[in-house]
Amino acid sequence: MQNKSQSGDDGGNVDHEVIVIGHSMMPKGTATRDVHENLSMVVLVDLRTHKVQRASVALTTEVNREWVESRLTGQDLREEPARFVTVVESNYWGPAQRALVQCYRDLVRRYQEGLRDAGIDTSSA
């Protein structure tokens, strides 16, 4: 898969994109916990819009991964309350529900810290 810098779509400049990773503990008794103790959520975020461009989630089953990744894509990481959390709390009935919400909140916290550390002001965005 080509990224923008490889394909030339952006003139090789992808300074507006960052990778952010969130983590949480998986509950006992889940298929993912049998493989991984922690849940990881990796997103590619456009700093101009603060929206998730692509997402990858370390869940065991394809249906779970695709469902969560599709709901993360397009999520504005500044939005409060987050659409992602609302959808997971109402529509994800699996035992990993709380872990998904915690993982997302950890991801947002890391994103906000990254913005502060980089001196990026989002108040006027």
Least confident of 1-10, 92-101, 112-121: 1-10
pTM, 2 dp? 0.82
CA distances, 79 to each of 12, 76, 93, 122 (Å): 29, 5, 23, 12
* Domain regions of the chain by residue span: 16-116
Under the banding of pLDDT at 50, 70 and 90, the label for residue 9 is low
Q: What are phi and psi of 112, to 5 degrees?
A: -60, -40
> What is the CATH code for 16-116?
3.90.1010.10
Least confident of 12-16, 26-30, 47-51: 12-16
Q: What are phi and psi of 95, to 5 degrees?
A: -70, -10
